[in-house]
C-alpha cells in the first residue's frame, strides 16, 4: 500500500480514525474527512503523519453531492490518484422500535442521506478516476443491524440493509477494475454508541455481550479497521461481499433441547 491514496469518510474518530491510522501504517496517504469534529480530525492527521505519509484533512458532508465531488477533486489535486475509498461516515437516531411516533419522515431522510446516498455519491465521484487508472477498491462500513434488523432505530437498520444490497448491485458494474465490499460489524466500543445510550445501558450491553457471544469479545474500532483494510489490500477475487464481524452475535443463542428423559 506504499504511496497509495485513500479517502476515509467520517474519519475524525472511532472506526474511521482507526482505519486512517492503519492505512498510514501500511504506507498509504489518507484523506481524513469530518463534518463537525475538526479538532479530532486534526489529531487523527497527526497520528497518520507519524508514519511518514501525507494526510489531507477535509470538511465535507457526504449527504451533499457537491461536498463529495470537492473532496475527491482535492485528493486528485494533491496526489493525482485515488486507490481506495472507505465509506465509514454514518448517522442514526436512537429510538426504541416500539415507539413508532419517535421517527419522522425527516429522520428517515436524514439517516438515509448519510448512510445510503452518501456512499453512493462518494462512489460515483471516485469511480471515473479509479477506472481511468485501471484499478481501485471500495469498502463500506455497514452494520449487523442491516442483516438481523436489530439496532439503534428502524430508520438506521433499514438504511444499513439498503447499503448492503447496494454493494451487491454495484459489484456487477464496477468490475473488473474496481472491487466493492462491505463489512457489517456488531456492537463496537465507540464514543458514538456510548453517547447514544445511558451509561447503565451501555455497560449492560457490553457486559452481556462479553459473557454470551461465542468469542466473548466486543469489537474495538481497530478490530473493524483491520477487516476494512484487508478488503482493500487483499481479497483480490472478492467483490459484492457483506462480511459480518461480530464475535458470532448473528448466530443467536444455542437452542436448549430437552433430553430424552424429560
> Which amino acids are annotated catalytic?
156
Q: Which three cell numbers stand for residue 30?
A: 489518507
Q: Which three cell numbers stand for residue 171?
A: 459489484
The C-alpha atoms of residue 49 and residue 31 are separated, in whole angstroms, by: 11
How far is Cα 167 from Cα 6, in angstroms, rounded to an integer?
A: 19
Which of 57-87 are b and which e, b meaning 16 or more Cβ less than 10 Å from the residue's Cβ?
A: bbebbbbebebbeebbeebeeebebbbbbbb
Q: How far apart are CA 221 and CA 166, in angstroms?
A: 24
Cα distance between residue 89 and residue 128, in whole Å: 22
Amino acid at each position: 500500500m506504499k504511496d497509495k491514496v485513500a479517502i476515509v469518510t467520517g474519519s475524525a474518530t472511532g472506526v474511521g480514525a482507526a482505519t486512517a491510522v492503519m492505512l498510514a501504517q501500511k504506507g498509504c496517504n489518507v484523506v481524513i474527512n469530518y463534518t463537525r469534529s475538526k479538532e479530532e480530525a486534526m489529531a487523527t492527521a497527526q497520528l497518520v503523519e507519524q508514519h511518514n505519509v501525507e494526510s489531507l484533512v477535509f470538511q465535507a458532508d457526504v449527504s451533499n453531492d457537491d461536498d463529495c465531488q470537492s473532496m475527491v477533486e482535492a485528493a486528485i489535486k494533491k496526489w493525482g490518484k485515488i486507490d481506495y475509498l472507505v465509506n465509514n461516515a454514518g448517522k442514526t437516531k436512537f429510538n426504541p422500535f416500539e415507539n413508532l411516533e419517535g421517527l419522522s419522515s425527516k429522520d428517515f431522510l436524514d439517516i438515509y442521506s448519510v448512510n445510503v446516498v452518501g456512499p453512493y455519491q462518494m462512489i460515483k465521484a471516485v469511480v471515473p478516476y479509479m477506472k481511468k487508472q485501471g484499478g481501485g477498491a471500495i469498502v463500506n462500513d455497514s452494520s449487523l443491524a442491516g442483516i438481523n434488523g436489530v439496532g439503534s432505530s428502524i430508520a438506521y437498520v433499514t438504511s444499513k440493509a439498503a447499503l448492503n444490497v447496494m454493494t451487491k448491485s454495484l459489484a456487477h458494474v464496477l468490475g473488473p477494475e474496481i472491487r466493492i465490499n462491505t463489512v457489517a460489524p456488531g456492537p463496537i466500543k465507540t464514543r458514538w454508541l456510548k453517547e447514544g445510550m445511558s451509561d447503565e445501558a451501555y455497560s449492560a450491553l457490553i457486559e452481556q455481550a462479553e459473557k454470551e457471544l461465542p468469542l466473548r469479545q466486543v469489537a474495538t474500532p481497530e478490530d473493524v479497521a483491520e477487516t476494512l483494510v484487508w478488503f482493500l489490500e487483499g481479497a483480490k477475487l472478492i467483490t459484492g461481499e457483506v462480511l459480518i464481524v461480530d464475535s458470532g452475535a448473528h448466530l443467536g443463542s444455542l437452542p436448549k433441547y430437552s433430553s430424552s428423559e424429560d
